[in-house]
Amino acid sequence: MDFTFTEEQQAAVEAAKAVFSGVAPDGVPSPARTPGAVADDFDRALWARLRDADLLSLPLAPEYGGAGLNAIALCLVLREAGTVLARVPLLESVAAAYAIQVHGDDALKRDILPRAARGELVLTVAANGRSGHDPADRAVTAHRDGDAWVLDGTHTAVPWAYNADLILVPAHTGEGRTLLALVPRGHKGVALGEQISTTGERLGELRLESARIPADRVVEAEGAWEWLRDLLATGTCALALGLGETVLRMTSTYTGKREQFGFPVATFQAVAVQAADRYIDLRAMEATLWQAAWRISTEADGALPASGDVAVAKIWASEGVRRVAQTAQHLHGGFGADTEYPLHRYHAWAKHLELSLGPAAAHEETLGDLLAAHPLG
């Protein structure tokens, strides 16, 4: 298995490192000290720098102002975003635009993609369903009425819902199809209820009551939602990997300096074994991430559908990011909970990513179903 990245992908990483190098993970008030949201908006200055570095358009075709790369390049940039807890809708906006490019019609592409590539149009995705546990595509119903689709239902925990221009909403029809509707914020029949993440960021409960969306703003292609769902999950795994690697580096630095009985605690066997276990978690997270991203990018055949590789990546990421954060808290002692020290922020974001990915047991069940339907050998 060769995970060597191309020159274009490596260039994207270097550009991302340059953009994120000046980002402070504690650039907003601590969620532990803030009763509401830590900020009213995402980091617009960082968004502008990402735009100027052409990192908002990586997977889009050159005709829309993009670089023509793929999900691997996007995940490489998201990995760097995770290292600094970047407060931008990079995953959601780019993934939504990418889905429109792959599955939307030409008129919708011409209208949406150039503006998304320039960062002028911010997109997000309602991907959590009614409760965060039920299928997102079953949370909203859609029925055709003349030249529009009428949407009814509720999605919980929509990221950046109060700041995005358009929310890409999966909805199911009476014929069993799943559509992707571009719902403008503030549209008639659309309401938002404030929710606060463990990170302190403001999420939105999206309520749709007979919201009429013109048919030309709806993606009806078969498999569009499943493709976007896998891309969002893989991108979240990339964020978790970047966060976990940073947390392990912080732990290594701290335990190398902190002394007990005249020796750095990093030299104690119990500490070294725990750190080694978390390193193994991160390497497994990395290998499964790139396998999933490669399957999405190439549509290569495999023993299982690409969703199987995504399920494996989610198993490792949801469990791994939790274990890495917990071990870091343990080995930092009191410093891990100190709100003047950035580790507590990484722990809060790790919990958010873990909850976003869902429990490993659910993904193991999905993987089991796929194995039953596609016997190996």
The number of helices, as runs of H, and strands, as runs of E, in the chain is 10, 10
Q: What is the pLDDT of residue 367?
A: 87
Q: What is the pLDDT of residue 377?
A: 65
Q: What is the pLDDT of residue 1?
A: 55
Length of the chain equals 377
Q: What is the pLDDT of residue 21?
A: 95
Q: What is the pLDDT of residue 302?
A: 83
Q: What is the pLDDT of residue 339?
A: 85
Amino acid 37 reads: A
pTM, entire model: 0.96
How many angstroms separate the Cα of 77 from the Cα of each of 9, 20, 53, 164, 359? 9, 10, 12, 20, 25
Which residues, in sequence order, are CB contacts of 64 under 8 Å at separation 6+? 57, 101, 109, 110, 113, 114, 117
Q: What is the pLDDT of residue 13?
A: 97
> What is the DSSP secondary structure assignment for residue 36, as one 8-state letter?
S
Q: What is the pLDDT of residue 2?
A: 63
Answer for the pair 55, 16: CB distance below 8 angstroms, yes or no.
yes
Answer for the pair 210, 176: CB distance below 8 angstroms, yes or no.
no
324 CB neighbour count, 10 Å cutoff: 29
Per-residue pLDDT tens listing for the chain (377 residues): 566 899 999 999 999 999 999 899 988 989 988 989 999 999 999 999 999 999 999 999 999 999 999 999 999 999 999 999 999 999 999 999 999 999 999 999 999 999 999 999 999 999 999 987 788 999 999 999 999 999 999 999 999 999 999 999 999 998 889 999 999 999 999 999 999 999 999 999 999 999 999 999 999 999 999 999 999 999 999 999 999 999 999 999 888 887 678 787 777 788 889 999 999 999 999 999 999 999 999 878 888 889 999 999 999 999 999 999 999 998 888 777 888 888 999 999 999 999 999 988 888 888 899 889 887 76
- Cα(273)–Cα(244) distance, integer angstroms: 17
Amino acid 8 reads: E
Q: What is the pLDDT of residue 259?
A: 62
Distance linking the first and last C-alpha atoms of the chain: 19
Q: What is the pLDDT of residue 68?
A: 96
78 CB neighbour count, 10 Å cutoff: 27
